[in-house]
DNA sequence: ATGAGAAATGGAAACGCTTTCACATTAAAT
DNA sequence: ATTTAATGTGAAAGCGTTTCCATTTCTCAT
């Protein structure tokens, strides 16, 4: 009387298969997994039974004995932002090819939420996790790692955590590429509207900006630099200041897409022609950049590729730990790519 | 000697907890789950043990006994398309609130892939699935449902499958809204560039177009209608035809965002002013529509809300089946919303 | 006191699978 | 023909929980 009366027929188990094939449980399991001896004839009988009974092994039971799952946790801010969309998609591609499956968690950059997700993934005994961490919850992450959950971070790190495999975009290099391009076009008064520099990311992009200028023998002008003071600050004001400068910059470097967004809208009010009156370049390939008229030159972070890399790396770690090999932690740094469109030209001769 | 030498210390089990607390396994389990008797003092001792040992129940083991998981499968095309991004995000919101977790699968509209994912979800014994099905794999879906996996489809159905709960957008109504708006502005020569009508979706949008016209006493003009013949067909040609008509339409209704995309680009070549020379309206709120200059009026499908609804519905079904209640299958139809921006105006007096 | 029912606890079976171990068979090698 | 090794098979012991059942210990009315 323990059988739930409701619902479709009780699931078919390997025991049913074994009975149907007239072999023992052990034998059925052997042909199912392909490991161990089994004569051709048995193999066939069992496989027939499997097919006829429509048997699907219960992964839960399987994991319980084998003590490892095929679950990968993917923790990121959300899925709406195409930045994360591409990342997630990249991960998904590989996940499937490599035989895992993903549990996706959106944190919305909320620490509490992130903690709950980490907790859940621990209970699910996820084999590994790929995350764009919020930066806090150091304790939870540490526990997770102690539990043996292999982890790969993307783009960000969690301080005080001991080394963790990480895949990062080279922000300095990316900003440098953008700037070199602008400089090669003849620009020297290049404005930058940057995110908050307390974030490593933006500090790096600023560094790239400064380095490129200096290397080209141009003295960076403090007047042309705007660093927002928080992630949520509206950049309109900053843009207005730059555009109202007596000697307006001939080019503008916007270090993220939300800045670019307000910039574009603000620019329209000034009725400036792009690229004739001002050249534009964005760090990050937002939809905006492709759609805008004219399309905007960007430094693109290859998010899908990063997703691929992350999953491949995770897989490697997982395989290794299975064989008791302990590889040193890696930090993979990949370089963003300059996509030249139509928003930059040589600066017009000063009137 | 069975203990894996590698890796972090073996997981702590409820048995360890019980020992530490000096109680039996059964008792520990009781306080863990909060079900059944347990004196205040034991409760406390066990909880202390749990905390000190950093115990996390193994959900796999738990599911094995309880015979049900908290896994929800989410099957959709990809995560890059913001349409699906919003949907997924909506689902994720509720999933977390309701205490489940999601396994996300991207099909890329590939039947083979879809089948593999369904297979995987069966083995994982997913409690339920939310899917935007490709439309094929009827057999796999049927099996899934037979296994007792509760399913909610979004936007599409799978033919020959017996009723399945579905959440749909009212495409007729949406198209009708767009058209009514245009008509109210005074348009009567309204062109439509539509997806392939073998897809119910587009058949419905066409119907909305036709209905609205007829109701307004305007005789639909075959000349103004373009229905692509496949999902991948480029719409540039269709647009060119419409724009080169001797009597050019005063407004254009584009029934999906990829059509809108090519349309916008093509339109630029004609140097037409929007909305002065031609009014534009799109079915679907693509990034393009918001960013374009001027921003484009659209009929928006509330994908996040749909995600919410889908998950709530699934939860309801799950809860019900737990209590042996069998509710009839529902088909929830929700109406898209007209978002008025700046791409439509009254038609200019004919010259 | 005493017996009845409630409260607290532990033993053990069950969930579906894998894997070790031992035994039986068969084939190969002397 | 006999030893040796390679094959094929089944019994049984887990894996970490929950839950049923039985037992013991309290609480109170009587």
Q: Which residues contact B112 (CB under 8 A, 6 or more apart)?
A: none
With 70 as the cut, is the pLDDT of residue A291 above it? yes
Q: Is the CB of B14 under 7 A from strand C?
A: no
Reply yes or no on whether the pLDDT at A229 is more than 60.
yes
- Chain B nearest-CA residue for A65: B61
Averaged pLDDT for residues A278-304 = 95
Look at residue A178 and tell me whether its pLDDT is greater than 80: yes
Nearest by CB to residue A321, choosing from B6, B79, B264, is B6
Chain B residue closest in CA terms to A269: B293
Could you report how far apart the first and last alpha carbons of chain B are, in Å?
93
Summary mean pLDDT of chain A: 94
Q: How far is the CA of A175 from the C1' of D13 (A)?
A: 61
Tell me the chain B residues in contact with residue A58 when contact means C-beta distances shorter than 8 Å. 64, 123, 125
Q: How far is the CA of B39 from the C1' of D27 (A)?
A: 15
Name every residue whose Cβ is closer than 8 Å to that of residue B258 and which is 6 or more positions away in sequence.
Answer: B235
Indicate whether B5 pLDDT > 50. Answer: no
Whether A57 sits with its Cβ under 7 A from any strand C atom: the answer reads: yes
Mean pLDDT across B66-87: 96
On the question of pLDDT at A146 being above 50, the answer is yes
Strand D: which nucleotides have any atom within 7 A of a protein Cβ? 7-12, 14-21
pLDDT of residue A8 exceeding 60: no
Comparing CA positions, the residue from B88, B319, B13 lying closest to residue A123 is: B13
Q: Chain A residue closest to B318 (CA)?
A: A7
Q: How many CB atoms lie within 10 A of CB B99?
A: 9
Q: Which nucleotide is nearest to B64 (CA to C1')?
A: C15
Cβ contact, residue pair B147, A293, below 8 Å: no
Model confidence at B87, in pLDDT bands (50, 70, 90)? very high
pLDDT tens digits for B190-226? 999 999 999 999 999 999 999 999 999 999 999 999 9
Neighbours of B80 (CB within 10 A): 20
- Residue-range domains of chain A with CATH: 14-57 (1.10.260.40), 71-162+304-335 (3.40.50.2300), 171-300 (3.40.50.2300)
Interface test with B, best of A9, A32, A59, A269 (most B CBs within 10 A): A59
Q: Work out if A39's Cβ lies within 7 angstroms of strand C.
A: no
Rounded Cα gap, residues B274 and B349, in angstroms: 15
Give the pLDDT confidence score for residue A326 in this predicted structure: 83
Mean pLDDT rounded to a whole number for chain B: 94
Peptide bond before A275: cis, by omega within 30 degrees of 0?
yes
Q: How many residues does chain A have?
A: 351
Least confident of A90-94, A342-346, B3-7, B50-54: B3-7
Residue of chain B whose alpha carbon sits nearest to that of A289: B291
Q: What is the per-residue pLDDT for A324?
A: 84
Does the N-terminal peptide bond of residue B27 adopt cis geometry, omega within 30 degrees of 0? no
Question: What is the pLDDT at residue A325?
Answer: 84
Q: What is the pLDDT of residue B259?
A: 94
Asked whether residue A64's C-beta has any atom of DNA/RNA strand C within 7 A, the reply is yes
Per-residue pLDDT, A5:
38
Q: What is the pLDDT of residues B96-153, one digit of tens each?
A: 999 999 999 999 999 999 999 999 999 999 999 999 999 999 999 999 999 999 999 9
Determine, for residues B60 and A69 on separate chains, whether the beta-carbon distance falls below 8 Å. yes
CA A180 to chain centre: 27
Q: Which of B8, B102, B122 is the closest to A104 by Cβ? A: B102
**B253 CB below 7 A from strand D atoms:** no
Q: In the structure, how far is the CA atom of residue B312 from the C1' atom of nucleotide D12, in angstroms? A: 45
Mean pLDDT, range A64-71, rounded to an integer: 95
* Class of residue A308 by CB neighbours under 10 A (exposed 0-12, middle 13-18, buried 19+): buried
The per-residue pLDDT for range A182-199, each reduced to its tens digit, is 999 999 999 999 999 999
**Using the CB atom, is residue B59 less than 7 Å from strand D?**
no
Q: Which residues of B touch A85 (CB under 8 A)?
A: 78-82, 85
Q: What is the mean pLDDT of residues A322-339?
A: 92
Distance, in Å, from the CA atom of A61 to the CA atom of A136, rounded to the nearest integer, reads 35
pLDDT value, residue A3: 34
* A183-187: Cβ within 8 A, 24+ apart: A183/A212, A183/A213, A183/A216, A183/A218, A185/A251, A185/A279, A185/A344, A185/A345, A185/A346, A185/A347, A186/A346, A186/A347, A187/A250, A187/A251, A187/A279, A187/A346, A187/A347
Mean pLDDT of A212-224: 97
Q: Is the CB of B273 under 7 A from strand C?
A: no
Structure tokens at A60: 């839960």
A24: nt with nearest C1' to CA: D10
Give the per-residue pLDDT at A9.
Answer: 57
Q: Region B283-312: what's the mean pLDDT?
A: 95
- Alpha-carbon span B78 to B87, nearest angstrom: 11
CB contact under 8 A, B88 and A104: yes
- pLDDT of B214-269, one tens digit each? 999 999 999 999 999 998 888 999 999 999 999 999 999 999 999 999 999 899 89
Confidence of residue A327 (pLDDT cuts 50, 70, 90): confident
Q: Which residues from 64-93 of B have any strand D atom under 7 Å from their CB?
A: 64-66
Strands A251-254 and A297-300, sheet pairing: unpaired
Residue B157 clears pLDDT 80, i.e. is over it: yes
Q: What is the pLDDT of residue B2?
A: 35
Predicted confidence band of residue B309 (pLDDT cuts 50, 70, 90): very high
- Asked if A89 and B69 come within 8 Å (Cβ–Cβ), the reply is no
Residue A1 pLDDT > 50: no
pLDDT higher than 60, residue B4: no
Q: What is the mean pLDDT of residues B43-63?
A: 96
């Amino acid at each position: 009387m323990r059988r739930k009366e409701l619902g479709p027929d009780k699931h078919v188990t390997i025991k049913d298969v074994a009975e149907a094939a007239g072999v023992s449980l052990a034998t059925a399991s052997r042909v199912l997994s392909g490991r161990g001896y089994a004569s051709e004839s048995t193999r066939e009988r069992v496989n027939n039974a499997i097919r006829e009974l429509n048997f699907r092994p219960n992964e839960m039971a399987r994991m319980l004995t084998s003590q490892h799952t095929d679950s990968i946790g993917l923790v990121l801010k959300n899925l709406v932002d195409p930045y994360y969309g591409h990342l997630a998609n990249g991960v998904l591609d590989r996940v499937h090819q490599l035989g895992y499956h993903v549990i996706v968690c959106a944190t919305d950059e909320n620490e509490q939420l992130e903690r709950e997700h980490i907790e859940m993934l621990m209970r699910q005994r996820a084999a590994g996790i790929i995350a764009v961490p919020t930066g806090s919850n150091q304790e939870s992450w540490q526990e997770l790692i102690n539990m043996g959950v292999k982890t790969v971070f993307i783009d960000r790190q969690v301080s005080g955590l001991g080394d963790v495999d990480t895949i990062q975009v080279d922000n300095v290099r990316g900003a440098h590429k953008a700037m070199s391009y602008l400089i090669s076009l003849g620009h020297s008064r290049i404005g930058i509207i940057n995110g908050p520099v307390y974030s490593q990311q933006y500090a790096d992009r600023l560094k790239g900006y400064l380095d490129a200028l200096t290397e080209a023998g141009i003295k960076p002008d403090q007047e042309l630099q705007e660093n927002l003071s928080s992630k949520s600050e509206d950049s309109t004001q900053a843009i207005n200041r730059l555009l109202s400068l007596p000697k307006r910059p001939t080019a503008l470097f916007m270090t993220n897409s939300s800045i670019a967004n307000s910039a574009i809208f603000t620019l329209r009010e000034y009725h400036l022609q792009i690229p004739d009156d001002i050249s534009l370049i964005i760090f990050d390939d937002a939809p905006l950049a492709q759609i805008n008229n004219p399309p905007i030159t960007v430094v693109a972070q290859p998010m899908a590729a990063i997703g691929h890399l992350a999953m491949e790396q995770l897989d490697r770690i997982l395989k290794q730990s299975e064989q008791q090999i302990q590889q040193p932690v890696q930090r993979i740094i990949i370089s963003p790519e300059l996509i030249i469109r139509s928003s930059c030209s040589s600066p017009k001769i000063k009137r």
